């Protein structure tokens, strides 16, 4: 009896050796990986757009680390009464398994922003979607936005749409937004949140004699108290950049009385806020420390001229941006959040009759200390 049991166990073990180890294994080449998700809304239904990549093509490099041929990107589209229904409808025509595990970017049209709560709820219920996904808003058709190619035959993954941080390090104007930071700011009871506005331009680059289409950020869409608050252009947000904690560097063209003085690169900016009470209303004071270098300067321009003009422009740009926002009832500089944190009692009093709306007279003193780190090869005239 014991011998028969041993024989049975031996035969069973031999059978197990013939079994494969991964019955449900899925190979990468059998999966459609969505890298960008665009969402539009026409008043009745959501329309989604997906950009998918062939990662085997992305990985193939020629000499010098560049692809031998152009990396193709496929675009899928479907619609539904909800975002999830639209995704389900798209899967009906997908030829392989669809995965959102590599989703890197989400783009909403301006028409979809009033339904942002529904969009965020749908996206963040998908377990595969990470909170590090980049988020944008746009005014142009998403299918057009997703056809842009990278430089030197590189994939779209090497563009501003997927890698905004590199561009921001060079020129800090509108900070890119990750999903987690945006949602955190959007859910706050006080202050504003924003989505960078991404668009296309053909004004700057050529490939041989052919104009190339590239991405650029032309402004931002602000949201306040859970609702869209409007679009602000890049020019209207010139003062916004100086108050962003992520600031790295930004150029500044110095000009006085139609005479060019210098080209500066502001390489550091720190801001402090002070909230006081004046006549039962908040009054904000700003204190900034700016550091930078002189990249180019006209003959005869003194160090004092440069410092004074840097200070003047920064103060002027901040006031202009605040004024433009106040005229539209939008807290672009996010000063309500400072009031909420520093004097919650006053904040409750101010908002007791309705949502907070900035007033032009509430912005008080703006003081800027300027320190020039480098002057180039030659010292400036004192």
What does the pLDDT look like over 130-184, one tens digit per residue? 899 999 999 999 999 998 888 777 778 889 999 999 999 999 999 999 999 999 9
> Model-level pTM?
0.88
Q: How confident is the model at residue 346 (pLDDT cuts 50, 70, 90)?
A: very high
- 32 and 96 Cβ atoms separated by less than 8 Å: yes
State the sign of the Cα–Cα–Cα–Cα dihedral 198, 119, 41, 220. negative
pLDDT for res 157? 85
pLDDT for res 156? 83
Q: Strand, helix or coil at 294? A: strand
Lowest mean pLDDT among 20-34, 159-173, 310-324: 20-34
Which DSSP letter does residue 90 get? H
Q: How confident is the model at residue 127 (pLDDT cuts 50, 70, 90)?
A: confident
Q: Strand ranges (DSSP E) for the chain?
A: 31-41, 46-53, 73-80, 97-99, 105-109, 134-138, 192-207, 210-224, 227-233, 250-256, 259-278, 281-297, 363-374
Q: Please say if the pLDDT value at position 274 is more than 80.
A: yes
pLDDT for res 162? 94
pLDDT for res 158? 86
pLDDT for res 10? 66
The structural domains of the chain, with segments of one domain joined by +, span 27-237, 240-382
Task: Report how far Cα 49 is from the mean position of its chain's Cα atoms.
Answer: 19
Looking at every residue in the chain, the average pLDDT score rounds to: 88
Q: Please say if the pLDDT value at position 15 is more than 90.
A: no
pLDDT for res 269? 97
pLDDT for res 138? 98
Supply the CATH classification number for the domain 240-382: 3.30.300.210
**Bridge partner list, 106:** 37, 135
**DSSP letters along 323-375, please?**
HHHHHTT--TT-HHHHHHHH-HHHHHHHTTTSS----GGGEEEEEEEEEEEEB
Which residue did the predictor score with more confidence, 74 or 198? 198
**pLDDT tens digit sequence for 128-145:** 888 999 999 999 999 999
Residue 161: φ, ψ to 5°: -60, -35
Cα(14)–Cα(32) distance, rounded to whole angstroms? 38
Supply angle C-alpha 351, 357, 361, rounded to 5.
Answer: 110
Burial class of residue 21 in the structure, from the number of CB atoms within 10 Å of its CB (0-12 exposed, 13-18 middle, 19+ buried): exposed
pLDDT for res 60? 53
């Amino acid at each position: 009896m014991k011998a028969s049991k041993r024989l049975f166990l031996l035969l069973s073990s031999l059978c197990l050796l013939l079994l494969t180890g991964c019955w449900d294994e899925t190979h990468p080449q059998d999966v459609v990986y969505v890298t960008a998700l665009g969402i539009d809304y026409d008043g009745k239904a959501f329309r989604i757009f997906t950009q998918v990549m062939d990662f085997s093509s992305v990985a193939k490099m020629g000499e010098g680390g560049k692809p031998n041929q152009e990396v193709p990107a496929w675009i899928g589209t479907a619609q539904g009464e909800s975002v999830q229904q639209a995704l389900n409808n798209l899967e009906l025509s997908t030829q392989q398994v669809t995965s959102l595990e590599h989703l890197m970017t989400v783009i909403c049209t301006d028409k979809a922003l009033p339904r942002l709560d529904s969009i965020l709820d749908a996206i963040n219920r998908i377990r595969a979607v990470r909170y590090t996904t980049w988020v944008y808003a746009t005014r142009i058709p998403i299918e057009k936005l997703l056809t842009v190619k990278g430089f030197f035959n590189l994939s779209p993954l090497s563009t501003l749409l997927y890698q905004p941080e590199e561009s921001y390090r060079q020129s800090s104007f509108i900070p890119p937004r990750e999903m987690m930071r945006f949602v955190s700011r959007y859910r706050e009871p006080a202050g504003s949140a924003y989505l960078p506005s991404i668009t296309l331009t053909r004004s700057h680059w050529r490939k041989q004699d052919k104009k190339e289409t590239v991405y650029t950020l032309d402004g931002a869409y602000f949201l306040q108290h859970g609702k869209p608050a409007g679009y602000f252009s890049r020019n209207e947000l010139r003062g916004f950049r100086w108050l962003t904690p992520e600031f790295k560097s930004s150029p500044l063209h110095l000009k006085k009385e139609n005479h060019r003085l210098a080209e500066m690169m502001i390489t550091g900016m720190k801001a402090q806020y002070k909230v006081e009470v004046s006549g039962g209303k908040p009054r904000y004071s700003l204190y900034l420390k700016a550091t930078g270098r002189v990249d180019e300067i006209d003959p005869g321009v003194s160090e004092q001229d440069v410092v004074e003009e840097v200070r003047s422009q920064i103060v002027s740009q901040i006031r202009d941006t605040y004024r433009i926002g106040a005229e539209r009832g939008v807290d672009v500089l996010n000063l309500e959040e400072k009031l909420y944190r520093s004097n919650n009692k006053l904040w409750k009093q101010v908002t007791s009759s309705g949502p907070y709306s900035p007033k032009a007279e509430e912005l008080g003193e703006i003081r800027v200390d300027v320190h020039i780190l480098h002057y180039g090869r030659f010292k400036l005239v004192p």
